[in-house]
Amino acid sequence: MAVHEIRVEGRDRAVPWFRVPGGADPKVRALARSARRPRRDSNPRARLRRPALYPLSYEGTCPHHTILDVTMPMRPALQDAVERALRACGIEARPAGIGFERPSRPEHGDWSTNVALVYAKEVGEPPRALAERIAAHLASDPPPHLERVEVAGPGFLNFHLYPKWLHESLREAVSGGTDHYARPGIGGGERVQVEFVSANPTGPLHVGNGWWGSYGDALARVLARCGWSVEREYYVNDTGGQVRRLGSSLLARRRGEEVPEDGYQGSYVKELAKSYKGPDDVMEAGRFAAERILGSIRSTLASIGIVYDEWYSQASVEESGAVEETIGLLRSRGLVEERDGALWLLSTRLGDSRDRVLVKANGDVTYLGGDLAYHRDKFIVRGFDRVIDVFGADHHGQVASLKAGVAALGVDPSRLEVKLGQMVALVDGGKSGAMSKRAGNFVALDDLIADIGPDATRLLSLVSSLDQAATLDLDVVRGQSMENPVYYVQYAHTRMASIERVRIERAIERAPLDDVDLSVLAHERELELLRRVEELPDVLAEAARDRAPHKVTAWVRSLAGAFHGFYHDCPVLAPSTPQGLAQARLWLVEAARVALVIGLDLLGVSAPEEM
């Protein structure tokens, strides 16, 4: 029977000899400890070149105990155990008051909770004293796989678990495969529309307005995997002043004249002018150009795996009478009034800083007027439960008015989420510059994709949070080295594929998973890789809740780092590797492959077998 220890930080004793494989024999104990330390390159420069995402060495032992096979996920299992311990302490537990996290440092255990700090004031007891009482009850009524629980700092509880909980996650990943593993159903089937990019079709997509396309698409993929019913939409601004300016620019080029001062200067306008055979009508010429530019935008986005369910025309909104219907609805609610010939939305009644114009005195509908008609269509006509709009940071001032307008329509404004993306700066040869479609000095997204490839374009746009400005150093991205994050994660998959190729070439049979003893996976590199596989469902749930696909990117890089460390220190098919250990490691590689492929697919990045 396993003995469950309670360790209080600063008071714990050394691991007794009978917990170390090999018992009291000093030679055997030394051999057991060294077997769990990763190999170190004899060349110190080689060690420095090792990717920084995984450490160079580990210390510690790995006790082996036979534990009841329990397949309940660890987080709910730990929560159940803590609830029982709280009740034993005379405290009525609230599930929302029991939070768990994975400590960043291995010496702090596999899981940690601050539950004692949460309840200490309520029960009138010092947090650390309460933590020690909870720990005592956990020792007598432990969760599955508990080795020991430590009380740390002001009253944190750190859970150290036996490795079998990680072995179970391996079985879950392999049995679920890429189709079924890591599918937390937290979305509950809620219908959500994600509208993103929606750049005006007045010029080719440039890096500035196309950079967030990967965010919108990856967010949609993460939400869909986590149980939401998702639709992607591109709102096409194919009417209004910008289309007129585009038409004026095209007609000027066709006449051999300079474009108007507020027109579009790019060389693409000259090419469009050569193919335009229509009349000298500004709107007709503008729509001709916009349609062709939109076709180019579709092609560009498709080249990085972005495909929309709907391309929604602004012109169709205005021509259908939806704007008038929307204004009529707002008027019936007493939220519209006329001032100086213009129609105003009384948005201050709904929390906005000032009232907003819906229709100008000259009869032109404002952006807000059109946007409210469009969002009325989203929420009321098409019936989406939630709408996520991805805007550029320059639209920050429109968020409050749009939220107020949605509330004026009778829609709970919390159902509308607006995500603002910051700008990206390209650095090439140490130089960077601003981009503008009107000035014609932009870097086309097509050119960036041709330069660094679709995978790099996708991954690098998802490295940091959407609300953080990004700088992309093209010289680093072009290099095929571990300094290149795209190469770093994809190379992990090619190494996985190479192990499978070697297995097939050597005609090594893979034993059925049920026949393989996974308890031999006790090396710290193996356990670290298993931890990364096990945490994927939680990472996806958090990324979905926070609308933060960059958290999947961080996880992918972490998994890749763990695998590179495993690959270096834990030979799978080497002649010196015992057969049973080789079989267990083959299945570990397969579990890691399943998890990595899931993560890369959510980011829209391929998983190559050779590089």
Delimiting residues of CATH 1.10.730.10 domain(s) in the chain: 166-184+481-603
The pLDDT assigned to 222 comes to: 98
Q: Which DSSP symbol is given to 379?
A: I
What SS3 class is residue 497?
helix
Delimiting residues of CATH 3.30.1360.70 domain(s) in the chain: 5-20+63-160
* Residue 313, φ and ψ in degrees, nearest 5: -85, 130
Instruction: Of 60-74, 117-131, 198-212, 444-458, give the lowest mean pLDDT range.
Output: 60-74
Q: Is the pLDDT of residue 431 over 90?
A: no
Report CA 501 to chain centroid distance, whole Å.
31
The pLDDT assigned to 392 comes to: 87
The pLDDT assigned to 52 comes to: 29
What residue type is 518 in one-letter code? L
State pLDDT tens for residues 364-388: 889 899 999 999 999 999 999 999 9
Cβ–Cβ < 8 Å for 134, 86: yes
Instruction: Of 31-40, 270-279, 501-510, give the lowest mean pLDDT range.
Output: 31-40
The pLDDT assigned to 424 comes to: 82
> Cα–Cα distance between 580 and 513 in angstroms, integer?
11
> Cα–Cα distance between 223 and 212 in angstroms, integer?
17
Return all residues near 583 (Cβ < 8 A) that are at least 6 apart: 510, 511, 516
DSSP 242-297: HHHHHHHHHHHHHTT-PPPTTS--SHHHHHHHHH--S-S-HHHHHHHHHHHHHHHH
State pLDDT tens for residues 162-185: 999 999 999 999 999 999 999 999
Q: Is 577 exposed, middle or buried (0-12, 13-18, 19+ CB in 10 A)?
A: middle
The pLDDT assigned to 598 comes to: 98
The pLDDT assigned to 474 comes to: 81
**% of the chain surpassing 90 pLDDT:** 73
Q: What's the pLDDT band for 104 if we cut at 50, 70, 90?
A: confident
Q: If one looks up domain 191-424 in CATH, what number appears? A: 3.40.50.620
Cβ–Cβ < 8 Å for 604, 191: no
Structure-model confidence comparison of residues 480 and 514, the more confident one = 514
The pLDDT assigned to 73 comes to: 79
Q: What's the pLDDT band for 479 if we cut at 50, 70, 90?
A: confident
Per CATH, which fold does 166-184+481-603 belong to? Isoleucyl-tRNA Synthetase; Domain 1 (1.10.730)
State pLDDT tens for residues 205-262: 988 777 899 999 999 999 999 999 999 999 998 888 889 999 999 999 999 999 999 9
DSSP 353-373: SS-EEEE-TTSPBPHHHHHHH
- Left if phi > 0, otherwise alpha if psi is -120 to 50, otherwise beta: which for 191? beta
Once rounded to an integer, what is the mean pLDDT over residues 92-119? 91
Q: Is the pLDDT of residue 2 over 90?
A: no
Mean pLDDT rounded to a whole number for the chain: 86
State pLDDT tens for residues 329-346: 999 999 999 999 999 999
The pLDDT assigned to 427 comes to: 82
What residue type is 102 in one-letter code? R
Which residue bears the tokens 């702090």? Answer: 108
Q: Is the pLDDT of residue 495 over 70?
A: yes
State pLDDT tens for residues 525-548: 999 999 999 999 999 999 999 999
Pairing of strands 356-359, 342-345: antiparallel
CA 62 vs CA 19, 35, 362, 520, 564: distances in Å: 9, 10, 78, 10, 21
The pLDDT assigned to 210 comes to: 75
* Whether domain 5-20+63-160 has CATH 3.40.50.300: no
State pLDDT tens for residues 290-322: 999 999 999 999 999 999 999 999 989 988 999
Cβ–Cβ < 8 Å for 435, 206: yes
Once rounded to an integer, what is the mean pLDDT over residues 77-87? 95
